Every structure is written in C-alpha cells, then in structure tokens.
Structure 1
Amino acid sequence: MDCNRETTDPKPTGDRDDGSDDVKPGRTIAFTAKLEICNSYPTHAGPLRFTNVLVNEGHGYRPETGVFTCPLPGFYHFTVHASTYGRAQFMINKNGQNVVSAYHNTLCDRKSQMASISSVIQLSESDKVWVQLWGSPRNDIFSSPDNDTVFLGFRLG
C-alpha cells in the first residue's frame, strides 16, 4: 500500500468553495479512519495518523495530522479498535489531556488480539481529539488485509 496516496474521502476539508463545508446545527458530524498497513508497528510517541479515511462528514478529521477538530459543539462518542500483536499503549486525548487509555500486552500464545477503548466527550468548537501513543519505543498496533485498526467519532443528537 502507498502511504503517500490521497485520502479516500472524496471531498477533503477546503476542497469546496461553494460554502457547503459550513456546519449547521443538526448536521451530521462523523468520521471513520483506518490505519494504513505501512503505518503499522509505530515507533513514535504522539498522535497516531489514521490516513485511510472512509467517512468524514463535517470534515472535522484531518488524516495528515490524525486530529479531529470539533466543528460544532456538543457531546461526541469516540472509539479506537486496535489490532495488536504484543504491547499496545494508546489513549484518546482531548486538547492534550488523557480522557481514557489502554495498555494491552498479548498473552504468551503470541496471537493477534483486539484492544478497544471508547468515551463520550463534551466538546466545544475547535477542541481537538486524537489517538495518542505512549510508553515503550514501539507499539505493536497494526493493520493487515485481515485486521483493521480504526479510529471513529460522531456527534450525538
């Protein structure tokens, strides 16, 4: 897979100049993004970039940074499902603060497993949410043709 390819979102933020990117009350805000296979087993601390965008309604998610920026205040639900093969340490982060975190260590049988976290978070306009890697120099989080690691979020109500 080519990690330098464009997002699969057909109309990323800023591509339209017809005003249709404006967020109106009651409008759906939702995104789902997958980790690319070539970004598996990250060795950095900081935001994890999910660059294969499947849905980005409201255009709040930026695949180049891995950060969701809230376009409309309200309550949001965020989830991370991570395929792991060893140690995985990650958290859902709001404006630089840990909201909920996961530490996963595969059992001695060394089979891949799933680790998941989720939370409902109240956001104001321009608040930022992302998946933060922490801990050891390598996280055994991966995607493959048979296993996906995804980050998703949506506005409630």
Structure 2
Amino acid sequence: MGGYYELAVLVCVASLLLTSRCDESCKGTDGRPGEKGTAGRDGWPGVKGQKGEPAVIDGPVDPDDLLRLKGEIGSQGLQGVVGPKGYRGNLGPPGPIGGPGRPGPDGKSIGSGQHSAQQAQSAFSVIRTSNSYPQPKQIITYQDTVVNKPGDFDTAAGYFTCRVPGVYYFTFQSVAKVSLCIYIVSDSLVNKLGFCDYNANRQSEQVLSGGVVLQLTAGQKVWLESFRDEQIVDARSMRDTREKQIIFSGFLIFSDPQ
C-alpha cells in the first residue's frame, strides 16, 4: 500500500515538470487572416449646390480663354412657333436644259386620212311621216332627220353609204293601221332580210320592228324597201291616208383596224 502511494506521487511530479516546460516552448501556430467583407452600399447623394457667380474678367479676353471658360452644352429646347411666311424672292435664272425623256409606248392605230380617230364615227336616225303607203320594191324615203352625223345617210335617196369600214347595227320600227312588210337591204347581204306585220283589223295600230348587225366596207349601202307578201295591198290600202310612221336608225359599233 505504501509502495502504490509513492508511485502516484512520482507520476504527479512528472506531470508538473512536463507542464512547466510547455508553457515556455510549446506555442500554438498563428491563425489565418479573415476573408474580406462585402462592400457597403453607396451613400445618399448630397444636396445640389447653389449656382456659382458669373466670372468677372477685366481687360481684353482671349477667345481661347473663353472657350476654356465655356460650360457644357445644355439639352436641346422645344421647337418654337413657326414664324410668318416671308416675301417671295425674285425668280432665279433658268436652269440647264434637261436631257430627252424616254420614248412613250406605241400608240394604237385607229385610222388614217379621212378615217382618223376624230372621224371614226357614224350614226343616223330618220323618220318617214308620209301617210301614203310605201310603194313595194322601192327604197323608202324619209321626211324628218333626228340624227345624221357626220352625214352618211342620204335622206332624199333613202339609203346609208358606209364611209368608215367596220361593224354596224341597223334597226327600224313602223307604226301603222295597215298590213306592212319591209326588207332590210344591203350590198353586203346575199339575201334581203324581210319582216311582216298583218293587220286584219285595220282599226288599231300595230308595231313592226327588225334589226341586223352588218360588216360593211367603204362604199356599201343599206336601205329599207317595202314588199308584197301575204298582206293585202289593194287600191284601198294604197289610198289609205291614216297616219303611218317608219323610223330607220343605224350606227357604227366599231371600225376595222387599219
């Protein structure tokens, strides 16, 4: 028991010796510096300073010095109100003559000579107002002219003469209390075109009409002609003096290309 106690005393003494030595030579390593912190926020802007006094310069001023003293250009202002219109200036001298323009498109030929564009037209409308019966196999003549431009219809002779070659339309209407048959006749037709109206009553007026489109060349003629068919054309009909009327009209639809 006494020996164990001595051993414990020796261990304590050794521990004290070791502790005293570490206090002098057993220092720890220095620690690493800490990381840099994040930047702080900008401070609030300061109050705008007062406008400075204008510079006072005595004596002559060098233009270069003025440029150095000149401040920065300010922002552009709003556009002002438009002023009144000035007086018109004097006419300036004439400018140089320009070059020739480009040629235009080719024109369309309508006609030449007496068949020019201004004359490529033809129309007529004439009226027979005679109360006598139109004689069969004879050209019907007319007393009144409604239209005859430019004068291709011969009212006295009763026929139309083609001046402008082309396509024409011809038509007639008759009003009478007697039976009537009428041909449309032309040099361009092989056969005559016949139209008839048989009025057996002879008390009421009846209307007879007909029309045709013809291709004509210069000089060809067109006219109306009465003829006998099944209608009664006796002495009584020939002496009938009741009002009769025949209207004959025609016009150029389009001329032939030259």
TM-score bracket for this pair, using the shorter chain length: 0.7 to 0.9
Please report the TM-score for the alignment, with normalisation by the length of structure 2. Answer: 0.46
Question: Deviation at 1:141?
Answer: 9.8
Q: Tell whether 2:189 aligns with 1:92.
A: no
Whether the 8 Å contact between 2:136 and 2:225 is mirrored in structure 1 is no
**What is the root-mean-square deviation in Å for CA atoms of aligned residues?**
2.7
Question: Deviation at 1:50?
Answer: 1.6
Alignment of 1:37-56 (within 5 A): 37-38=130-131, 40-56=132-148
Look up the match of 1:149: 246
In the aligned structure 2, how far is the partner of 1:28 from the partner of 1:143?
37
- Amino acid aligned to 2:248: F
SS in 1 for 2:196: strand
Q: Tell whether 2:217 aligns with 1:120.
A: no
Whether the 8 Å contact between 1:142 and 1:148 is mirrored in structure 2 is no
Look up the match of 1:30: 123
Unmatched tracts of structure 1, length 5 or more: 1-21
Look up the match of 1:70: 162
Q: Which has the higher contact order (CA 8 A, sep 6+)?
A: 1
Whether the 8 Å contact between 2:174 and 2:209 is mirrored in structure 1 is yes
Please report the TM-score for the alignment, with normalisation by the length of structure 1. Answer: 0.72
Look up the match of 2:195: 102
Unmatched tracts of structure 2, length 5 or more: 1-113
Whether the 8 Å contact between 2:182 and 2:196 is mirrored in structure 1 is yes
Q: Render the CA deviation track for 1:89-133: whole Å, top value 9, x for unaligned.
A: 111100275442111101436311110000001100000000011
Count of aligned pairs between the two proteins: 133
SS in 2 for 1:111: coil
Look up the match of 2:95: none
SS in 2 for 1:37: coil
Taking structure 1 as reference, are residues 128 and 140 closer, same or farther at Cα in structure 2, changes over 3 Å only? Answer: farther
Alignment of 1:125-136 (within 5 A): 125-135=218-228, 136=233
Look up the match of 1:19: none
Whether the 8 Å contact between 1:73 and 1:124 is mirrored in structure 2 is yes
Look up the match of 1:18: none
Percentage of matched positions with identical amino acids: 22
In the aligned structure 1, how far is the partner of 2:169 from the partner of 2:129?
23
Larger radius of gyration: 2
